[in-house]
């Protein structure tokens, strides 16, 4: 009898949580006055608290952009640090409104997990990092047979790793931890020879190691990892707001609208720029979406355009110094492309 | 006749509602109905909400391909195995660490517990310090102590510490030669089982003879001779079929031989040390619970102190010790779920990974709860049998 009761309590808790998440997310968010944003427990460049305890990174800034679109104020965000394992349950149960946590977009997550990915804020791929000082002569992932590999559990990384070694007929010892900090510590202590995760993550993690210069990221990229924010299924309005916030960031960059010139741009001669910034007479673009008409102005004022966000967090303005590469706009040979705002 | 009828009707006091028996049944039925309704409502709520949120549900996912690897597995497992098998691997790992942990904790616990009652000042104090240290530190910290404090500071694989018999110790674990059983080695196993059976038989007979005639028999030495001697004889007869595979250095790690990983070692050592402190206190309480009159009476009969402990004190102490010991065994089993902090693939870790890869949180948690519950109930059942055997037979 007792264990049935415990099961009932557990299931009831989930049941209540699920029903709490049912109402329109936009109304919930407006009623509580802030957006609850699920981020990582600390990945430099994507979401990590700085020395003042403020969350920094592309993923954190994306939530600020959504807050700016909804409230006109990018600071109305509360961050929930989540492990890889906790992230989907937190979104499904309604604990967070957006999952913006370097999460790979896959079909399984879009369908069976009941999520909707809004786009790809960072095109990534899985790589390997080794300690070159301890392993001289290793310069390709194909030489890694027999190695102990550190990996975070419950990630696509873990699955790609198994596939890669299997298809190349190599063996490895997985050393699996639930939390990123545990993986970092184990790799730094020499428990494993190889660290594998998304390449951008490897560059960020390398900075936190004892002797960053000793470690090299191997050239192979073994998977496609389109990282992006996700929301719950079944709330189209909220899905559209988050999706078009992402597109607005890209369109702003394409039109040359920056944090510095956004107020001047309002008086631009270009009808397209005026339309995007909500300066057209009797415009309804913002209100149709469920936000104010100057939503793009608010977004750019809060975090800048996509390019500024990228350079500040992972690019030339950050210690990571990652090149734009395939994350450049489509006009510059990259993959970032947004439908027009009209 | 008349008086009997009066007696029978008295408890009902003429009213059906006031009948305590009817009332009892009514309230039990009411609670049952409420409980069933509650379970139905919760289950319904979960199913409806999962469907509304477009989240897959049901246990069909267990047949899917797992796609991830597990570092330690007692059964055949690869990334092509099913999710069910992944959970099974985790379950077996939990059982392994729990069983060896329970055995070790019991041995350390009994030694320390008896040591705390020693007349030797040094032994007594060392045992007290042991108990006070491990009893007052959370088990997770003890696990981290072994993992990060002891095993992680060992040298890397290329500078392994050489131990006797071709064994090595480094930060990737403890490596020793793996025994390879050749043809005819089944004979050794048969001989071992035969030796154990014969030793048991001899012990029984010797006991009966001592009861009847008072003449002792060297049971210990005979048993050792049987259990060790017979397999050795079989080994020689079958033509020495045993060979060893030694661990060797390769590019990254030592390969070959048998590897005990640091995750298992630290979890096992931490759980054993931690639980042993509690068992030591239970053992001490059990021995102190046997009245001193028993010891004095046994001494008056002329028994030596070793015999007093073995024949008089311990059998009575066991009756006090076993029930709380069961709780400690359950604690150890449940504490093994802390393995997740250091990456030992126990049930919580593998079921958690499955839960995350499939997104089926409700089912995953239900499986974990059911398995831990079953494990605890089985442990309790075994200990209840042991307890029933040890309990005072009242005549």
Query: Under a CB-based contact definition with an 8 Å cutoff, are residues B170 and B254 in contact?
Result: yes
Q: What is the pTM of this model?
A: 0.81
B152 touches chain A (CB under 8 A): yes
Q: Is residue A340 part of a domain?
A: no
Domain match, A115 and A6 both:
yes
Angle formed at CA B229 by CA B223 and CA B235, multiple of 5 degrees: 145
Give yes or no for residue A13 having a pLDDT over 60.
Answer: no
Domain for residue A174, yes or no? yes
Query: In chain B, which residue's Cα lies nearest the Cα of A116?
Result: B54
Cβ pair A154:B342 closer than 8 A? no
Residue B8 pLDDT = 53
Model confidence at A133: pLDDT above 70: yes
pLDDT of A6 strictly over 70: no
pLDDT at B13 (0 to 100): 55
Domain termination site, one of A170, A188, A223: A223
The answer to the question of residue A86 being in a domain is: yes
In a domain, A67, yes or no: yes
The answer to whether B150 contacts chain A (CB < 8 Å) is no
- A338 lies in a domain? no
Task: Give the whole-angstrom CA distance, residue B54 versus residue B48.
Answer: 10
Lowest-pLDDT choice from A210-224, A310-324, B100-114, B143-157: B143-157
Q: Does A116 share its domain with A130?
A: no
Task: Give yes or no: residues A135 and A202 share one domain.
Answer: yes
Q: Does B8 touch chain A (CB under 8 A)?
A: no
Residue A339 lies in a domain: no
A20 pLDDT higher than 50: no
User: Do residues A241 and A215 both lie within one domain?
Assistant: no
In a domain, A91, yes or no: yes
Question: Which residue in B has a C-alpha nearest to residue A90's C-alpha?
Answer: B361
Residue A7 has pLDDT above 70, yes or no: no
Per-residue buried b or exposed e for B312-324, using 16+ beta carbons within 10 Å of the residue's own CB: bbbebbbebbbee
Q: What is the DSSP string of A263-323?
A: HHHTT-S-HHHHHHTT-STT--HHHHHTS-TTHHHHHHHHH--HHHHHHHHTSTTSTT---
Max CA distance (Å), chain A: 74
Q: Which residue of A has its CA nearest to B56?
A: A112
Residue of chain B with shortest Cα separation from A161: B68
CA-CA distance, B210 to B371, in Å (whole number)?
47
Q: B53 vs A158: CB contact, 8 Å cut-off?
A: no
- Chain B residues in contact with A143 by the CB 8 A cut-off are 251
Nearest residue to B350 via CA among B334, B367, B362: B367
> Of the candidates B42, B43, B56, which has its C-beta nearest A112's C-beta?
B56
User: Does residue A16 surpass a pLDDT of 50?
Assistant: no
Show which of residues 247-266 on chain B sit within 8 Å of chain A, judged by CB atoms: 250-253, 255, 262-263
Q: Which sign, positive or negative, has the C-alpha torsion B198, B203, B209, B211? A: negative
Nearest by CB to B55, which of A92, A143, A147?
A: A92
Give the pLDDT confidence score for residue B135 in this predicted structure.
92
- Return the pLDDT at B368: 94
Q: Is the pLDDT of residue A35 over 60?
A: yes
Domain extents in chain B = 2-52, 83-143+264-390
Dihedral over alpha carbons B148, B151, B157, B159 (to 10 degrees): 110
* Mean pLDDT, rounded, for A82-87: 88
**Per-residue model confidence (pLDDT) at position B159:** 81
* pLDDT class of A33 with cuts at 50, 70, 90: very high
| Residue B284 near residue B117, CB atoms below 8 Å | yes
**DSSP-derived 3-state class of residue A115:** strand
Are residues A19 and B369, on separate chains, in Cβ contact within 8 Å?
A: no
ipTM of the complex: 0.77
- Is A172 close to B69, i.e. CB distance below 8 A? yes
Token pair belonging to A41? 């427990």
B-chain CB neighbours of A108 within 8 Å are: 359
**Residue that finishes a domain, picked among A223, A255, A271:** A223
Report the distance separating Cα B290 and Cα A7, nearest Å: 42
- Which of B35, B343, B376, B377 best probes binding to A when mutated, by most A CB atoms within 10 angstroms? B343
Interface probe, candidates B34, B39, B42, chain A, greatest A C-beta count within 10 A: B42
pLDDT value at residue A1: 37
Q: How far is CA B325 from the centre of its chain?
A: 11
Task: Reply yes or no on whether the pLDDT at A9 is more than 50.
Answer: no
Instruction: Count chain A–chain B contacts defined by CB atoms under 8 A.
Output: 156
Structural Rg of chain A based on CA atoms: 21
A-chain residues within 8 Å CB-CB of B349?
Answer: 153, 176, 178
What integer best gives the mean pLDDT of chain A? Answer: 89
Q: Do residues A114 and A258 both lie within one domain?
A: yes
Helix (H, G, I), strand (E, B) or coil at B168: strand
Do A191 and A319 lie in a common domain? no
Q: How far apart are CA A231 and CA A229, in angstroms?
A: 7
How many domains are contained in chain A? 2
Residue A84, both tokens:
């890889």
Q: Do B369 and A7 touch (CB under 8 A)?
A: yes
Of all residues in chain A, the one with the smallest CA distance to B255 is A146
- Nearest CA of chain A to the CA of B229: how many Å? 40
Residue with tokens 């250091």: B342
For chain B, list residues with pLDDT below 70.
1-14, 393-395
Identify the bridge partners of residue B167 per DSSP, sorted by sequence position.
Answer: B163
Q: Minimal Cα distance from A83: which residue of B?
A: B356
Instruction: Indicate yes or no: CB of B148 within 8 angstroms of CB of A185.
Output: yes
Domain of residue A215, CATH code: 3.40.190.10
Q: Which of A205, A223, A241 is the last residue of a domain?
A: A223
Q: Can you read off the two tokens belonging to residue A153?
A: 């559990």
Tell me which residue range forms the domain holding A133.
126-223
Higher pLDDT, A162 or A2: A162
Which of A6, A9, A11 to mutate: most B Cβ within 10 Å? Answer: A11
Burial (CB count <10 Å: 0-12, 13-18, 19+), residue A319: exposed
Q: Are A251 and A154 in a shared domain?
A: no
Tell me whether residues A146 and B252 touch, CB distance under 8 A: yes
- Contacts for B121 with CB less than 8 Å, ≥ 6 apart: none
Write down the pLDDT at residue B333: 94
| Measured distance CA(B91)–CA(B62) in Å, rounded | 15
Q: Tell whether A233 lies on the interface with B, counting CB pairs under 8 A.
A: yes
A165 to chain B, closest Cα gap in Å: 10
Q: Is A332 on the interface with B (CB under 8 A)?
A: no
Whether A239 is covered by a domain: the verdict is: yes
Q: In chain A, whose CA is at the least distance from the CA of B366? A: A7
In this predicted model, what pLDDT tens digit does every residue of B141-157 receive, in sequence order? Answer: 999 999 988 888 888 88
Q: A263-269 long-range CB contacts below 8 Å, 24 or more apart?
A: A266/A297
Q: Do A191 and B69 touch (CB under 8 A)?
A: no
Q: Which of A88, A147, A172 sits opposite B356 (nearest CB)?
A: A88
Per-window interface: B 332-351 vs A, CB < 8 A: 340-343, 345, 349
- Lowest average pLDDT, out of A229-233, A308-312, B111-115, B258-262, goes to B258-262
Task: Check whether A4 has a pLDDT greater than 70.
Answer: no
> Domain B83-143+264-390 belongs to what architecture?
Orthogonal Bundle (1.10)
Q: What is the DSSP letter of B289?
A: T
Residue matched to tokens 């025994």:
B179
Contact A236, A52 (CB under 8 A): no
pLDDT of residue B228: 86
For residues A95 and A38, give the distance between their C-alpha atoms in angstroms, rounded to a whole number: 9
Whether B254 and B84 have beta carbons less than 8 Å apart is answered as no
Is B356 in CB contact (< 8 Å) with chain A? yes
Q: Are residues A116 and A27 in the same domain?
A: yes
The confidence score (pLDDT) of residue B394 equals 62
Other CB atoms closer than 10 Å to residue B121's CB: what's the count? 8
Q: What's the pLDDT tens digit per position in A235-252? A: 999 999 999 999 999 999
Measure the CA–CA gap between B388 and B319, rounded to whole angstroms: 9
Quickly state the pLDDT bin for A23 (edges 50, 70, 90). Answer: low
Per-residue pLDDT for A194 more than 70?
yes
Question: Which whole-number Å values give the CA distances from B387 to A45, B279, B319, B325, in the listed order?
Answer: 60, 16, 7, 10
* A113 and A10 belong to one structural domain: yes
**Tokens at residue B268, please?**
């096992």
Tokens matching residue B147: 């993992």
Write out the E strands in B189-252: 242-245, 248-249
Question: Do A92 and B252 lie within an 8 Å CB cutoff?
Answer: no
Residue A132 and residue A260 in one domain: no
Q: How far apart are CA A246 and CA A260, in angstroms?
A: 19
């Amino acid at each position: 009898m007792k264990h049935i009761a415990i099961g009932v309590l557990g299931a009831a808790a989930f049941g209540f949580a699920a029903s709490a998440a049912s109402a329109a997310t936009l109304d919930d968010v407006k009623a509580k006055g802030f957006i609850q944003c699920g981020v990582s427990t600390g990945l430099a460049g994507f979401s990590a608290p700085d020395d003042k305890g403020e969350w920094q990174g592309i993923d954190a800034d994306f939530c600020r952009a959504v807050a700016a679109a909804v409230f006109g104020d990018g600071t109305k965000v509360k961050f929930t640090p989540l492990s890889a394992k906790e992230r989907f349950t937190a979104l499904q149960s309604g604990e967070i409104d957006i999952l913006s946590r370097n999460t790979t977009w896959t079909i399984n997550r879009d369908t069976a997990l009941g999520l909707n990915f809004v786009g790809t804020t960072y095109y990534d791929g899985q790589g390997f990092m080794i300690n070159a000082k301890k392993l001289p002569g290793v310069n390709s992932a194909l030489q890694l047979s027999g190695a102990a590999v550190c990996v975070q559990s419950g990630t696509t990384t873990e699955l790609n790793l198994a596939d890669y070694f299997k298809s190349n007929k190599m063996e490895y010892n997985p050393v699996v931890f639930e939390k990123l900090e545990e993986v970092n510590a184990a790799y730094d202590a020499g428990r494993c020879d190889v660290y594998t995760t998304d390449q951008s993550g490897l560059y960020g993690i390398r900075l936190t190691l004892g002797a960053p210069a000793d470690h090299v990221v191997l050239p192979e990229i073994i998977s496609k990892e389109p990282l992006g924010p996700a929301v719950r299924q079944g709330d189209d309005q909220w899905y559209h707001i988050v999706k078009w916030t992402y597109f607005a960031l890209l369109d702003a960059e394409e039109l040359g609208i920056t944090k510095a010139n956004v107020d001047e741009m309002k008086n631009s001669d270009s009808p397209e720029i005026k339309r995007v910034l909500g300066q057209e007479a009797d415009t309804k673009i913002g209100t149709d979406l469920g936000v104010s008409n100057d939503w793009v102005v608010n977004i750019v004022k809060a975090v800048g355009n996509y390019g500024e966000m990228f350079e500040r967090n992972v690019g030339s303005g950050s210690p990571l110094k990652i090149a734009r590469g395939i994350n450049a706009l489509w006009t510059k040979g990259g993959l970032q492309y947004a439908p027009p705002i009209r | 006749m008349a008086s009997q009828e009066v007696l029978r009707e008295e408890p009902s006091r003429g009213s059906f509602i006031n009948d305590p028996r009817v009332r009892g049944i009514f309230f039990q039925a009411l609670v049952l109905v409420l409980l069933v309704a509650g379970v139905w409502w919760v289950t319904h709520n979960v199913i409806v909400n999962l469907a509304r949120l477009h989240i897959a549900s049901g246990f069909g996912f267990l047949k899917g391909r797992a796609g991830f690897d597990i570092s330690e597995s007692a059964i055949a497992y690869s990334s092509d195995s099913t999710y069910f098998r992944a959970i099974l691997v985790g379950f077996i790992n939990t059982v392994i660490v729990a069983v060896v942990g329970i055995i070790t904790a019991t041995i350390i616990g009994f030694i320390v517990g008896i040591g705390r009652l020693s007349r030797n000042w040094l032994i007594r104090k060392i045992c007290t310090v042991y108990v006070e240290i491990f009893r007052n530190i959370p088990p997770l910290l003890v696990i981290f102590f072994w993992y990060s404090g002891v095993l992680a500071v060992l040298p890397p694989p290329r500078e392994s510490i050489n131990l006797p018999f071709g064994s090595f110790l480094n930060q990737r674990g403890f490596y020793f030669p793996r025994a390879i059983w050749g043809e005819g080695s089944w004979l050794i196993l048969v001989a071992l089982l035969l030796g154990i059976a014969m030793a048991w038989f001899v012990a029984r007979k010797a006991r009966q003879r001592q009861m009847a005639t008072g003449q002792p028999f060297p049971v210990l030495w005979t048993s050792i001779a049987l259990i060790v001697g017979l397999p050795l004889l079989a080994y020689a007869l079958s033509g020495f079929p045993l060979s060893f595979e030694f661990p060797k250095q390769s590019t990254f790690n030592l390969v070959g031989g048998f590897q005990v990983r640091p995750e298992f070692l630290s979890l096992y050592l931490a759980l054993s040390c931690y639980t042993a402190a509690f068992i030591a206190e239970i053992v001490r309480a059990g021995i102190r619970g046997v009245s001193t009159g028993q010891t004095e009476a046994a001494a008056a009969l002329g028994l030596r102190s070793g015999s007093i402990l073995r024949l008089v004190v311990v059998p009575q102490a066991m009756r006090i010790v076993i029930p709380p010991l069961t709780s400690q065994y359950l604690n150890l089993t449940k504490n093994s779920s802390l393995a997740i902090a250091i990456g030992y693939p126990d049930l919580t870790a593998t079921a958690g990974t499955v839960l995350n890869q499939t997104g089926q949180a409700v089912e995953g948690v239900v499986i974990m709860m059911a398995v831990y519950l079953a494990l605890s109930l089985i442990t309790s059942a075994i200990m209840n049998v042991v307890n029933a055997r040890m309990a005072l037979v009242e005549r």
